[in-house]
Structure 1
Amino acid sequence: MDGYGQYFFAVIGLMLPLVAALWEFVFAGRKRLGYRVQMDTTAQDAASLPYAGVLQQLQEADGRQLRDPSFVLLRFENSGWAPIVTGDYQAPDGDLHAGIKVKFTGRHVVGMAVTEMSHEALAGFFVGTGPTPGTPHGLSVHRDVIDLPKVKLNRGDHYKVLAILERARDFTDSEFPEPKIIARIVGGVGGGGIRRTEYYPFASKPVRWVLALLVLVSVGQSVLTFTRHDAVAAPLDCASGTLTLSGSTAFAPVVKDAAEQYTKSCPDARIPITGDTFQSSVSGLADLDEAGLKAKLTGSQGLGDRLTFSDGPKGDRRPQLLPRPVALLLFTLVVNKDAGVQDLTLDQVRRIYAGKITNWSQVNGNDVPIHLVSRHPGSGTRTTFEDKVLKGEKSLVVTVDDCADLDPATYGRCETDSTSALLDTVGATRGALGYSEAGDAATSTNVQQVRIDGYQATLAGADEGAYPYWQTEYAYTYGEPPADSLAAGFLRYLANEVGKDVIRAHGDRPCSELAKPLVCSPVETGPEPVSS
């Protein structure tokens, strides 16, 4: 069905509750005088009851036994939302004193009594002096008619009348007709006439019909929602076009997941990701700067179709690149399980990378040569490792160009071009040691994470300054992207709840959750810039 059908159902869905409310609380709820016939039985019908014998032996005052006695219990109530006062009653059949008349066909009234009142205040309307001695105005019995007084009934008030009757001599039908109730009030529903009511647990019958129809409308809307094939309306931060990403391989898994979720919500957005999308922080910054220069933007214009992610700030070059802290990343050392170590001191790590420790047995591990597997220069993970862990010392040059050429029996060094390649190499190379983003390392079953000075790669350890290997992840734009651009929309997405959930799922922490979100640093010292 097209959009007009959906609008139709939407309008009906809005109107029905309004109609129901108006009916229940305005029209039907003005004033409504109602009654119920709660019992209408003969002595024969009650033959199985414990008191059946007593009923059959009822007699007149002169000792005459009643002819086919019957009993009627009537309930009179204010079933509306407005009070009914004595002045609201209109005289039934011209009787100025009575408020309600009850007529019985084929039966004569032998006696009657008010058996129940919703509260004691109603009793005053049934006592006093009226035309019949000992009765108030309006309360009387005339052979086949009971006159009831004009009783003030607030919302929900009621009283019950029990009548004892006998068959009229000239009435031969086997069944007695129901009693006829005559009453009318000013301003009541349906001209003010008294109406027979029933008990509804939450609403009147018309309202229940309206509610049933409303359910059908809701079902119709649901069917349309699940069967329609037209485009779904996009969230407010959605933008159309193509967004080109680049930068850190360590943060790439987070960005990939976020991009996938974003394009599901925003079908007009395209964020292509291939195996070459993320190379390194330095190369990503260089590519972004080059794209901005080629665009020849003027004034404060910025690129709205490119983003680069970097492990750490860019340094003092490329002034057109604007940073936005996104997350606090944790990194960890990873080792091949044959090394036999799970914890290294910071001093031991530095001596290993300086080439002073070349066998794991020198740090109480297995007698296995150490093979250092590093990232290529320009990697943000490598730069962070050298700045945070090695304190500015650069990694030694490689001993082989290809990690596959490492000699299993000799200490050696090699480099890889991505986080995933490093983890695979460490897992497959006996005695290998490397470093990785902590979330990626946690998902690799072939490597062992290594503590530093007894501390694991945890946010708590970084917060307290005990764990040194962390970095702030920045998203870079060339200039300020237009507010309605895909780059700006995706950045806002990373900062909202869905984006933050993706970041947390990879073991990182959104900057907005830190004590100083603009700095996005767990300790007072600022982050080191990425080498350019």
Structure 2
Amino acid sequence: MGDFPVEIVLALIGIAVPIGAFLYEFVLVGRKRLGYRVQMDTPVTGEVESVFPGVLPQLRPSLDGASPDLKDLSVVLVRIENSGATTIDTHDYKAPDRIGLHLRFPQRMVIGMAVTELSDTGLADSLDHDSALAVREDIGGHIGVIDLPKVPLDRGEHYKILAILQRSEGTGEYPAPVLTGGIKGGRVLETRSRTGIPRMMLGLTVFLVLVIIVQLIVTAVQPEPTPLECASGKLTLVGSSAFAPVVREAAEQYEKRCTGAKFVFGFEGTERGLDRLAEEGKDNSGLLAISDGPKGSGYPALVHRPLALSLFTMIVHKDVGVRSLTETQIRDIYYGRVRNWREVGGPDLPVVLVNRIPGSGTRNTFERRLLGGDQPDRPHVSCTAIKGTVTSGAAHCNVQVTKDMQRAVGEIPGAIGYSEFSEAVQADLPTVAINGVAAGRDAAIDRTYPFWGVEYAYSHGELPGDSLAAAFLHFLVDQTGKDVLRAHGNAPCAELPDPVRCLPDA
């Protein structure tokens, strides 16, 4: 429907109508409202005197000592109440004399009446013999009338009139009694029993349901608006296998909102990702590399963009049993000075070092944060080659990506390695506290936990502002993508107390 804000208009109508109904009902016409309700209108059959001995003689008047013949009788009970929001005083009645209201009974005459119930005993003063309460006939005796005085009623107060009536004309059912009169600034109206759903409430409910149905129909037929950060095209993401699950999930979230976007992944490690970007990325805004740490000096054309503080952890085989190591112990293990787990409180089991291959961003972060420099040179050994073998002494092996690291540590007895924290937890691998501090985002932010790194996105030169790569990075660091970063235990760089910490030379 174009740019016309149909949903907003419907929402405003849905708000305005109930408010208007409330103001109309309780402010305009409902502030002063005198209601009446016929609670009983019953024909009397059979021997009245034998059923209710002594009642009718008290209610019906005597004429020269003789009562009129009683036939075709009915008993009516009418409740008169203040059903408005404010008090009704004697001066609120429109009638100029002492009579305030007229209770009329078409086709019947009144042969007896009584006030049967007062919500407050103080009302009796307005309904005694000195008041304007009286019985008369109108229209040639065809309509019986009970004149009611001007009774002051507080909110919710009421009184009831019981009348004995005799038919004056007609046959069949009696016309309903009617209360007439006027209230200044209000009205006199027939009310209903408060059991069940009030008509106004039912009407408002139906109206609101219809508004909701119309909104659903409008939403269904309208095309989903394209979010402002959306861009279309294809974007290839390569690089860090440690950060791959985070980027994949963020890309899936982006594709749900931006159906014109398509993502391709090639997470084979930081070094391979940077190499591919350097070789293929020139004049290609559809290629980004994700790196666990700064790129170094070998890629001068690549431009960095900090993403998040990423959490890493040491992992061990379940049989090792060691759940905490100091930084010194970790250095001694990887420099070959500790060769059996019993030397650090573990079982009599040779240590098997599992490393990422040189050039891995995760390995660089591990060496920079925990070892303080490069590891000793060791010949390359595939972890697949030593699985299932019995080692009599310390051993080592290398893996290509994070998943291979987790698999090797989980399968080789005595193995120790390192991994992105949330992926290690998801793989159900035992993690190791460092210096007695467990891996945690807050501990990494306040630097009490030492094994953390910064994730970067690299492009070949600056990105066009309308490119999918630029839009996706904006989504990742400034919009909904930040929730994905946090869900994986990372801290978005923009939310750090010291954001300069994410700069490559920090």
Q: TM-score, normalised by structure 1?
A: 0.73
Residues in 1 aligned to 2:403 and 2:344: alpha-carbon distance in whole angstroms: 27
Q: Which has the higher strand share?
A: 2
Supply the AA of the counterpart residue of 1:179: P
Residues in 2 aligned to 1:202 and 1:484: alpha-carbon distance in whole angstroms: 61
1:45 and 1:332, CA in 2 relative to 1: closer, same or farther beyond 3 A? Answer: farther
In structure 2, the partner of 1:254 is: 246
1:486 and 1:187, CA in 2 relative to 1: closer, same or farther beyond 3 A? Answer: farther
Residues in 2 aligned to 1:53 and 1:328: alpha-carbon distance in whole angstroms: 95
1:165 paired to 2:154: no
In structure 2, the partner of 1:279 is: 268
Q: Is contact 1:247-1:308 (8 Å) kept? A: yes
Q: Following superposition of structure 1 onto structure 2, how do residues 124-203 of structure 1 map, counting pairs within 5 Å?
A: 134-136=130-132, 139-143=133-137, 144-149=144-149, 156=155, 159-167=158-166, 176-184=174-182, 194-200=188-194
Q: Is contact 2:316-2:430 (8 Å) kept? A: yes
1:180 and 1:386, CA in 2 relative to 1: closer, same or farther beyond 3 A? Answer: closer
Q: Following superposition of structure 1 onto structure 2, how do residues 411-490 of structure 1 map, counting pairs within 5 Å?
A: 411-445=394-428, 447-459=429-441, 461-462=443-444, 465-477=447-459, 481=463, 485-490=467-472
Residues in 2 aligned to 1:492 and 1:52: alpha-carbon distance in whole angstroms: 89
Q: Is contact 1:77-1:157 (8 Å) kept? A: yes
In structure 1, the partner of 2:102 is: 101
Deviation at 1:400, TM superposition (A): 3.5
In structure 2, the partner of 1:58 is: 58
Deviation at 1:41, TM superposition (A): 4.3
Deviation at 1:326, TM superposition (A): 3.2
Residues in 2 aligned to 1:357 and 1:28: alpha-carbon distance in whole angstroms: 85
Aligned counterpart in structure 1 of residue 262 of structure 2, from 256, 265, 270? 270
Residues in 2 aligned to 1:453 and 1:13: alpha-carbon distance in whole angstroms: 57
Aligned counterpart in structure 2 of residue 26 of structure 1, from 21, 24, 27? 24
1:372 paired to 2:372: no
Residues in 2 aligned to 1:271 and 1:243: alpha-carbon distance in whole angstroms: 5
Aligned counterpart in structure 2 of residue 113 of structure 1, from 86, 110, 115? 115
Q: Is contact 1:240-1:268 (8 Å) kept? A: yes
User: What SS does the corresponding residue of 1:271 show, helix, strand or coil?
Assistant: strand
Q: Is contact 1:33-1:80 (8 Å) kept? A: yes
Deviation per residue, 1:388-415 (Å, 9 max, x gap): 11111x1233424533334743544332
Deviation per residue, 1:369-399 (Å, 9 max, x gap): 433221122211101111111111x123342
Residues in 1 aligned to 2:380 and 2:443: alpha-carbon distance in whole angstroms: 35
Deviation at 1:418, TM superposition (A): 0.5
Q: TM-score, normalised by structure 2?
A: 0.76
1:516 paired to 2:498: yes
Residues in 1 aligned to 2:170 and 2:221: alpha-carbon distance in whole angstroms: 71
1:195 and 1:61, CA in 2 relative to 1: closer, same or farther beyond 3 A? Answer: closer
Aligned counterpart in structure 1 of residue 379 of structure 2, from 399, 402, 408? 399
Q: Is contact 1:399-1:412 (8 Å) kept? A: no
1:322 and 1:85, CA in 2 relative to 1: closer, same or farther beyond 3 A? Answer: farther
Q: Is contact 2:109-2:145 (8 Å) kept? A: no
1:528 and 1:352, CA in 2 relative to 1: closer, same or farther beyond 3 A? Answer: farther
Q: Following superposition of structure 1 onto structure 2, how do residues 331-346 of structure 1 map, counting pairs within 5 Å?
A: 331-339=312-320, 341-346=322-327
User: What SS does the corresponding residue of 1:249 show, helix, strand or coil?
Assistant: coil
Supply the AA of the counterpart residue of 1:196: E
Deviation per residue, 1:455-474 (Å, 9 max, x gap): 43334554564432221223
User: What SS does the corresponding residue of 1:264 show, helix, strand or coil?
Assistant: helix
Deviation per residue, 1:411-457 (Å, 9 max, x gap): 44332220111222233334333221122222224x54334444433
1:502 and 1:417, CA in 2 relative to 1: closer, same or farther beyond 3 A? Answer: same
Supply the AA of the counterpart residue of 1:148: L
In structure 1, the partner of 2:489 is: 507
Supply the AA of the counterpart residue of 1:110: G
Residues in 1 aligned to 2:349 and 2:414: alpha-carbon distance in whole angstroms: 6
Matched length? 486
Deviation per residue, 1:191-241 (Å, 9 max, x gap): x7x43221457985255234224324534654776xx58753344433333
Aligned-pair RMSD on alpha carbons?
4.4
Q: Is contact 1:398-1:415 (8 Å) kept? A: no
Supply the AA of the counterpart residue of 1:250: A
Q: Is contact 2:311-2:451 (8 Å) kept? A: yes
In structure 1, the partner of 2:76 is: 72
Residues in 2 aligned to 1:46 and 1:389: alpha-carbon distance in whole angstroms: 108
1:421 and 1:471, CA in 2 relative to 1: closer, same or farther beyond 3 A? Answer: same
In structure 2, the partner of 1:130 is: none
Residues in 2 aligned to 1:44 and 1:477: alpha-carbon distance in whole angstroms: 100
User: What SS does the corresponding residue of 2:264 show, helix, strand or coil?
Assistant: coil
Structure 1 residue runs without a partner (length 5+): 128-132, 296-302, 521-525
1:321 and 1:45, CA in 2 relative to 1: closer, same or farther beyond 3 A? Answer: farther
